[in-house]
Amino acid sequence: MIVVALDGPSGSGKSSTSKEIAIRAGWNYLDTGALYRAVTFIALSINSEKAEDILNKLALQPITFNSDPRDPKIFIGDLDITEEIRSHDVTEKVSIVSALPEVRAELLQLQRKIISKADRGIVVEGRDIGTVVCPDAALKVFLTADIAARAQRRDAELAAESKGLDSVGASLSARDEIDSTRKVSPLAPAFDAVHIDSTELNLTETVDRIWELLSERSLLGLPIVAILGRPNVGKSTLINRFIGRREAIVEDTPGVTRDRVQYECEWGGRRFIIMDTGGWESKPDGISVQVSASAELAMQEADVLCFVVDAQVGALDEDDILVQELRKAKKPTLLVANKVDGDNDESDAHALWNIGLGEPHFVSALHGRGSGDLLDAIVTLIPEVGAAQVQDGYRRIALIGRPNVGKSSLLNALAGENRSIVDDVAGTTRDPVDELIEFGGSIWRFVDTAGLKKRANQASGTDYYATLRTQTALERCECAVVVLDASVPISEQDLRIITMVEEAGKAMVIVMNKWDLVDEDRRDQLDKEIDRHLDQVEWAQRVNVAAKTGWHRDRLAPALRTAIDSWERRVPTSKLNSFLGALIGATPPPVRGGKQPKVYYATQAGIAPPKFVIFSSGWIEASYRRFIERRLREEFKFPGTPVQVAIRVKERDKEQ
């Protein structure tokens, strides 16, 4: 279950944003502020602010909360008080009542009970969610806005009960003071929360920001598309065509694929999971029984079904039986006629209309004919949030480097125990070792990878596959820890690995390991090597450690947090353009072809890593683009992450 913790002061937009996120993801929703308002309503009804009196009343008439984001309601016993808790009287008293330690302790248990009942995910909003209620939430967001914007929003909510913007603003300020200074669970952002200022954002923009974070952290289940059919109809060949590489095993022998194997696919900007299944048989025997059962399970798990038929053979009796099973699944289903290599084959394949699954999609998995049209059809059917298992929300950190630089030793040092096999022989680790490790006050998912000896295209055998797995681990991580052996000179392979991380667009921390072997002479030499070789990545966080002894291992957590925070940082458009205007005014772009390009404006196109697009009237030199990047770093500070700057020529609608 995914928990999204959304904290912030009153009027920052927490409720509206949380409900929209929950609706979009198909998750539950909990307004913890409504619980405290309900308790305040009780206090007003019994005319007492004593914790004992409130809790006694609460025991007789417990609070229940309907977690449907489309229609959230709160009850005291059987009484619906959803509207009553928004009154001016409740608003004025809620901070006082919610500051009572006994009340907070009681509601804390209630909140966690409601959260535990959520099936897939829940968005929880309040003031201490990330710090107290759900300290292990997959995503923590601290949403804020300036007092003027918050006052306007709250004034609109109060409508007829409003006493004017000044009065509302003063009330909010007073409540902020109480909430942030109370002794128990004060209003404060969690140390690992993402800060979002909604002052200049509308609801859609705020929701999109958080949705972007959920997507980047793989917290949204991807849709699953199951490829089903009899043995040897070309399912695995079709999979390879979809993913653009030969990964699913293909042979002429029927029954090569047995297990359900999942591959990530992207088409038209949509990511989804393609599930390859074993050939389904109506009367299986031996191992075919398990294969067919696995295919039937895939029907239940998937969001969309693709039924593949060999158009050269046509529909068989077994296909009719499988069609009946597909109809029982009640899932969107596409009929795929494979091995249609030309127009003549397509004419013959029209007979597959008789199967009763609608229009056949004619493809040749081997040659690619019709595969794009089929993917277009799939994308129109898949939901925005699918049934695929999501990540656990822990930050993913890949340990990469040359063989024998101490990656496994560092993993063991961070874990405080031997999690990875360590040997003096280079290349001990071959497969990525995935471990959850708690250190520095957080839980991290570390992946210890095989040492990269050479380029992937120069490797062979075991080394080749180990290199590919390491590259996959890099693609899936958020931050790469590049481990270097500080006791030996920085090698060309070290620099190649650093470049690989930079080009992958990942946050980066460079760890100088084996610092216990570095003497004074080597230290002076290392400083010169860093100045000479690492000047292009001077933005990377750097930590000196001795993995074997654990020396300075505690310094890695702050470096990781800094790098990841920068990786996900967004610069407000107004500040960005103010900076760019001043920069262009002081140092205009160079003249090219007798014309000086005019810079119109800039926008941040994305995060992870930060991506900036500058719109201009003409082409801008790469050197000036690098100059802008350096100044961006000086102005807004992006330690630990690459920054991408692109130029879009507005007149010609071209991008360089």
Distance CA 381, CA 376 (A): 9
Position 419 pLDDT exceeds 70: no
Nearest Cα residue to 94 out of 189, 188, 171? 171
Contacts of 256 (CB under 8 A, 6+ apart): 236, 249, 250
What's the whole-model pTM score?
0.58
pLDDT in tens, 470-480: 787 888 899 99
77: DSSP letter: T
Residue whose C-alpha is closest to residue 95's, from 16, 172, 188: 172
* C-alpha dihedral, 192 to 197 to 202 to 207, nearest 10°: 0
- Write the pLDDT tens digit of every residue in 401-414: 998 899 989 988 99
Lowest-confidence pick of 117-131, 417-431, 562-576, 578-592: 417-431
Closest C-alpha among 334, 323, 337 to residue 365? 337
The pLDDT score that the predictor gives to residue 505 is: 94
**pLDDT higher than threshold 50 for residue 253:** no
What is the pLDDT confidence band of residue 455, given thresholds at 50, 70 and 90?
low
Greater confidence (22 vs 183) lies with 22
**More reliable by pLDDT, 620 or 293:** 620
- With cut-offs at 50, 70 and 90, classify the pLDDT of residue 248: very low
Is the pLDDT assigned to residue 255 strictly greater than 50? no
Position 95 scores a pLDDT of 86
What is the band of 288 on the pLDDT scale with cuts at 50, 70, 90?
very low
Instruction: Name the residue among 273, 270, 289 with its Cα closest to residue 281.
Output: 289
Q: What percent of the chain has pLDDT over 90?
A: 48
Distance of alpha carbon 552 from the chain centroid? 30
DSSP 8-state class, residue 131: I
Closest CA to 276 of 292, 251, 259: 259
Q: How many residues does the chain have?
A: 656
Other C-beta atoms closer than 10 Å to the C-beta of 27 total 23
- Helix, strand, coil content of the chain in percent (nearest 5): 45, 20, 35
pLDDT tens readout for residues 182-215:
787 888 899 889 999 999 999 999 999 999 999 8
Q: Is the peptide bond before 589 cis (omega within 30 degrees of 0)?
A: no
Rounded percentage of the chain residues whose pLDDT exceeds 70: 88
Fill in the DSSP letter of residue 172. H
Among 126-140, 336-350, 380-394, 427-441, name the one with the lowest average pLDDT: 427-441
Q: Return the pLDDT at 258.
A: 37
Q: How much is the average pLDDT of 208-227?
A: 88
pLDDT, position 46: 94
